[in-house]
Structure 1
Amino acid sequence: MGTVSPSSNTTLLQQAAQSIVSGATGSSLDVNTLVSAIVMAKIAGRASAIANQQKSGNTMLSALGMMKSSLGTLQTSLAGLSDGSIFTQFAATASGKGITATTTGGAAAGSYAVNVQQLATANQISSKAFAAKATLGTGTLTIGIGSASMTLNLDSKNNTLAGIASAINGAANNPGVTAAVVTGTDGQHLVLTSAQTGAANIVSVSAGAGVDSNMATANFTQVEAAQDAKLTISGSAVTSASNTVKDALTGVTLNLTSAAVGSPQTISVAADPSAIALAVQGFQKAYNAWVAQHKSLSSYDPSTAQAGPLLGDAMLNSAVNGIGGIMASGVAQGGKTYSLAQIGLDLKHDGTLGFDQAKLQSTLSANPTLVSSVFNGTNGIGQQMNKFLDAYTQTTIGQVDKRTASINSSLLTVSKQQNELVAYQQTLTTQYNAQFTALNRLLTRVNNNRNYLNQLFGGNGSPGTMNKSA
């Protein structure tokens, strides 16, 4: 159903009148044009009002969606800042070479002396030398590592060193052994290596009846012994089957390489400044995006007289003022008041937030508790902001969702009114079609009768057949 303007409505009525005049003066009525003009003229005002209500409602829904999305992004950026958890994230650094340290949950700040005596190694054994393509009999060959093992069946298809190596590497139940054939000056050797480091992961070989007796552990040479990593952490002895040492130092994982052996060093665990800076900068960007969004939604261009969809809106103004108040206020803790400016976040005249990363890093180094005080989990800026934003962003019960639901309800009513108007339009069209079609038939009969009488008695310049006979 289209929208009809007052000027087009007048034109339609003029067309209808002209159609009736034409019919009365001898031409047939253009029923379709006539009915369409009269019906559209009759419903034009209501159709226009409904279209305007729908446009206004949908524009408002779009604006509220943008507002909620921007506030939601701002709230998401507070993760770790609103509850202060970002300040319990620690980074670990080593003072020397050969150790890299990473942190997980539960790490505690401090310095820890680490001395690595040996690395964990994987067991490797090598068989005696065999002639190239030598066959080693048929039967079973058991390969083990630690307490796990697998048994291979050797036959004429796989009883060479290459065949055995391929069978070991391709076995679905391989317990963790890799095999390779090394060709030396003395012949070929089967080299078996444990996939896992550690003293418990010793490779073993056992030959069954019919298989060359040299295929037994006792006849293999140990190339690399299986051993655990050994180190001390703050004086406590630690062993690890892997060179990735977990759980020895709570919340810290140490990755050892050969450069660390015999080189005592210190592992320092402290708050992660890079994570804090990233979180603060993320908050600053989300805040500035919110400022740009609310300015756009409430803008006014005097040159075009175009206004943003939420210009003067009470809910938007309330959100803007509330957020601005929190940003401008200080945080009282321990008898002192802290502000965003102290950690490199400065409110500018245009309402945006500036970020001085160098100042934040300097503050983190000199006075880390100052930063954590601004974003403490009790009454910090993030905590205040998060609670305030909940009133707008919560699903269903938040102000934006409640208002959205109200507009959707109104649009549903408008949609019903539109359907009713369409039904009314169809009823009028049917009614007028019947009336004007009947009128058209009547006018046709009148015109036909007039023509007959003119032919009979004369008229319109014709003498008439009656006059001729006289």
Structure 2
Amino acid sequence: MSTITTSVNSATANAQSQVQQAAQSIISGSTGNSTMDVATLVSALVNAKTAGQTAALKAKQTSDTTTLSAFGALSSALNALQAAIKSLSDGTTLSTFGATASGKGMDPKAGPGAVAGSYSIDVKQIAASQSLSSAAFDATAKLGTGKLTISIGGKSTDVTIDSTNNTLSGIANAINKAGNNPGVTATIVTGTGGAHLVLRSTTTGAANTINVSTSNVQNDTGLSSLGVTSTPGANGAASTIVSSDTSKAWQQSEAAQDALFTIGGIAASSSANAVTAAISGVTLNLSSAAVGTTQTLTIAPDTTAQNTAITNFANLYNTVVTTINSLSSYDKTSKTGGALLGDSTLTTIKNSLASIVGGGVGTGSSAIGLASIGITLKGDPADGTLVIDSKKLSTALTSSPAQVAALFNSTNGIGAKLNKSITDFVKTGGIIDTRSTALNADLKSITTQQTTLANYSAQLTKQYQNQFTALNTLMATMNNNSQYLTALFGGSKSAGALATNK
């Protein structure tokens, strides 16, 4: 017997019992033993009229909600699996490379376009941004008015210096706030000799040198001495400077320079320490620890990432299978089944996924399956989950990369076929969406029916209340009349007032 039928029968039987109990109040009221219980009687009669339909709607609502939730859980598991196999289905994971350096100060990263190989790299210097510090000034002194032109790397900005900003700190603030600042930051550093204006380039590289020129200087007490010319070093070497006022000369705290290095004896340079153009598909992240060293850079397939991706695929496939098994299970002890027990949609999905994972790739003697890389089905065929032999998988990735690549090729590999199958299941208009749409429509219809039934119950309650309240009043009047006549004329056991002349 279905859950819905059981719920309806139980609700109907309970309603009939309530009617029988409430009916006793009519009998009692008609015999004068008590007042009729109108509220209980009305509630019982209305419930008797609506209990079966109410229970049926509630049971169907619960069933639909449970089924909808089950499809939601299944979709979540399938989406997680699809996300995990994306890099396996398009072949990107199995074509990834890792990069390692034999020493310190060079953190290499391999990306798209990298090719396996080994390179000897000698780092001469790393890229640096220029930093200049002016001569010492009184921090509060007025240096004059005029214009400073700040340029770097072919870009420049003009900074107006007037009576509101002609102290050293005012000049620094004006430079930092310039709307078209070309990439220079200014700060004040105070030492034992006074305050210094410090200019820094925000970009590394030999070409990014700082130049400062002054013009229209009035009331000059130091402003004109802030001029400085920087010259980039040849072939990326360190920059040099010339101050406009040698008596108040600038100092170059750090020179602008390129990173200089050789790759297999070939000279190369980079304006940044994240070197992207030297080796195709490889980024070399250089730091000072690499200077003066000769290191070996090795580019090789990233078996660690590949192992992680394949293991993750197997684990999430197991999550899908476990979810399916739970939704289709049956407990003989409690005689209860999963939310999708016997559901044809669930069966279709289960069989489709199992066929792909168990079938492998290729035909005949050229066919290869997951077992060839250490992934097999659990001993119990009914279970359907995968077991991973990590050692065998690692060996396959190292010694048989072509076989692994074939198993997960982007055309008809396991990942590609699973991706297509899952897309068909979870897409708009797919079998899960179709079922979910129908369930949501049914739930909407049930809500409408419940509203209609509630309105009917309210109407019926009002009708019964009016009828039985009137009946209760009539029976009370009749009982009162009966008692009066008995007192007047007597009854079977009394003489009455008239008979005794009282």
TM-score bin, normalised by smaller chain: 0.7 to 0.9
User: Who is 2:145 aligned against?
Assistant: 139
User: Is the partner of 2:491 in helix, strand or coil?
Assistant: coil
Q: Cα–Cα, structure 1 residues 47 and 239, in superposed 2: closer, same or farther, change >3 Å?
A: same
What does residue range 415-434 of structure 1 map to in structure 2 within 5 Å? 415-434=447-466
User: Who is 2:391 aligned against?
Assistant: 358
**Any conservation in 2 of the 1:141–1:205 contact (CA below 8 Å)?**
no
Q: Report percent identity of matched pairs.
A: 42
Q: Cα–Cα, structure 1 residues 264 and 37, in superposed 2: closer, same or farther, change >3 Å?
A: same
- What is the TM-score of this pair, normalised by structure 2? 0.82
Q: Cα–Cα, structure 1 residues 19 and 246, in superposed 2: closer, same or farther, change >3 Å?
A: same
Q: Which amino acid aligns with 1:469?
A: N
What does residue range 177-188 of structure 1 map to in structure 2 within 5 Å? 177-181=185-189, 183=191
Runs ≥4 residues deviating over 6 A: none
User: Is the partner of 2:213 in helix, strand or coil?
Assistant: strand
Q: Cα–Cα, structure 1 residues 98 and 451, in superposed 2: closer, same or farther, change >3 Å?
A: closer
Select which of 265, 270, 281 maps to 1:240. Answer: 270
**Any conservation in 2 of the 1:165–1:181 contact (CA below 8 Å)?**
no
User: Is the partner of 2:484 in helix, strand or coil?
Assistant: helix
Q: Cα–Cα, structure 1 residues 431 and 98, in superposed 2: closer, same or farther, change >3 Å?
A: closer
Which structure 1 segments of 5+ residues have no match? Answer: none
For residues 299 and 354 of structure 1, the distance between their equivalents in structure 2, rounded to whole angstroms, comes to: 21
Is 2:75 the counterpart of 1:68?
Answer: yes
What does residue range 98-137 of structure 1 map to in structure 2 within 5 Å? 98-128=105-135, 130=136, 135=141, 137=143
**By how many angstroms is 1:154 displaced?**
6.1
Q: Deviations over 1:98-118 (max 9, x none)?
A: 322113333344444444343
**Any conservation in 1 of the 2:173–2:186 contact (CA below 8 Å)?**
no
**Greater shift after overlay, 288-297 or 334-343?**
334-343
Q: Which amino acid aligns with 1:249?
A: I
What does residue range 55-94 of structure 1 map to in structure 2 within 5 Å? 55-94=62-101
Is 2:206 the counterpart of 1:199?
Answer: yes
Is 2:326 the counterpart of 1:296?
Answer: yes
What does residue range 431-450 of structure 1 map to in structure 2 within 5 Å? 431-450=463-482
Instruction: Give the count of matched residue pairs.
Output: 465
Q: Which amino acid aligns with 1:358?
A: K
What does residue range 33-44 of structure 1 map to in structure 2 within 5 Å? 33-44=40-51
For residues 60 and 69 of structure 1, the distance between their equivalents in structure 2, rounded to whole angstroms, comes to: 14
Is 2:15 the counterpart of 1:9?
Answer: yes
Q: Which amino acid aligns with 2:419?
A: N
For residues 334 and 463 of structure 1, the distance between their equivalents in structure 2, rounded to whole angstroms, comes to: 114
Q: Deviations over 1:352-411 (max 9, x none)?
A: 22223333232222221121111111111111212222232113x111111122223333
User: Who is 1:452 aligned against?
Assistant: 484
Q: Deviations over 1:274-313 (max 9, x none)?
A: 2212211211221121222122112222222222122222
For residues 187 and 451 of structure 2, the distance between their equivalents in structure 1, rounded to whole angstroms, comes to: 78
User: Who is 2:26 aligned against?
Assistant: 20
For residues 36 and 187 of structure 1, the distance between their equivalents in structure 2, rounded to whole angstroms, comes to: 95
Q: Cα–Cα, structure 1 residues 182 and 459, in superposed 2: closer, same or farther, change >3 Å?
A: closer
For residues 384 and 173 of structure 1, the distance between their equivalents in structure 2, rounded to whole angstroms, comes to: 54
For residues 291 and 147 of structure 2, the distance between their equivalents in structure 1, rounded to whole angstroms, comes to: 38
Is 2:308 the counterpart of 1:249?
Answer: no
Which structure 2 segments of 5+ residues have no match? Answer: 1-6, 229-242
**By how many angstroms is 1:145 displaced?**
2.9
Q: Cα–Cα, structure 1 residues 135 and 60, in superposed 2: closer, same or farther, change >3 Å?
A: closer
**Any conservation in 2 of the 1:77–1:283 contact (CA below 8 Å)?**
yes
Q: Which amino acid aligns with 2:184?
A: G
User: Who is 1:274 aligned against?
Assistant: 304
User: Who is 1:151 aligned against?
Assistant: 159
For residues 407 and 141 of structure 1, the distance between their equivalents in structure 2, rounded to whole angstroms, comes to: 75
- What is the TM-score of this pair, normalised by structure 1? 0.87
**By how many angstroms is 1:314 displaced?**
2.3
Q: Cα–Cα, structure 1 residues 344 and 155, in superposed 2: closer, same or farther, change >3 Å?
A: farther
For residues 290 and 54 of structure 2, the distance between their equivalents in structure 1, rounded to whole angstroms, comes to: 82
User: Is the partner of 2:453 in helix, strand or coil?
Assistant: helix
**By how many angstroms is 1:267 displaced?**
3.0
Q: Cα–Cα, structure 1 residues 85 and 454, in superposed 2: closer, same or farther, change >3 Å?
A: same
**By how many angstroms is 1:322 displaced?**
2.1
Q: Deviations over 1:228-284 (max 9, x none)?
A: 223344565433222222233333221223443454444333332222122112112
What does residue range 397-416 of structure 1 map to in structure 2 within 5 Å? 397-416=429-448
User: Is the partner of 2:167 in helix, strand or coil?
Assistant: coil
User: Who is 1:373 aligned against?
Assistant: 406
Q: Cα–Cα, structure 1 residues 188 and 56, in superposed 2: closer, same or farther, change >3 Å?
A: closer
**Any conservation in 1 of the 2:90–2:416 contact (CA below 8 Å)?**
yes
Q: Which amino acid aligns with 1:62?
A: S
**Greater shift after overlay, 303-312 or 171-180?**
171-180
For residues 189 and 50 of structure 1, the distance between their equivalents in structure 2, rounded to whole angstroms, comes to: 83
**By how many angstroms is 1:321 displaced?**
2.2
User: Who is 1:51 aligned against?
Assistant: 58
For residues 113 and 416 of structure 1, the distance between their equivalents in structure 2, rounded to whole angstroms, comes to: 76
User: Who is 1:336 aligned against?
Assistant: 366
For residues 420 and 163 of structure 1, the distance between their equivalents in structure 2, rounded to whole angstroms, comes to: 77
**Any conservation in 2 of the 1:177–1:203 contact (CA below 8 Å)?**
no
**Greater shift after overlay, 135-144 or 451-460?**
135-144
Q: Which amino acid aligns with 1:151?
A: V
User: Who is 2:227 aligned against?
Assistant: 216
User: Is the partner of 1:326 in helix, strand or coil?
Assistant: helix
RMSD of the TM alignment (CA)?
A: 3.1
**Any conservation in 2 of the 1:139–1:211 contact (CA below 8 Å)?**
no
**Any conservation in 2 of the 1:145–1:177 contact (CA below 8 Å)?**
no
**Any conservation in 2 of the 1:54–1:411 contact (CA below 8 Å)?**
yes
For residues 131 and 318 of structure 1, the distance between their equivalents in structure 2, rounded to whole angstroms, comes to: 83
Q: Cα–Cα, structure 1 residues 195 and 441, in superposed 2: closer, same or farther, change >3 Å?
A: closer
**Any conservation in 2 of the 1:145–1:201 contact (CA below 8 Å)?**
yes
Q: Which amino acid aligns with 1:60?
A: T
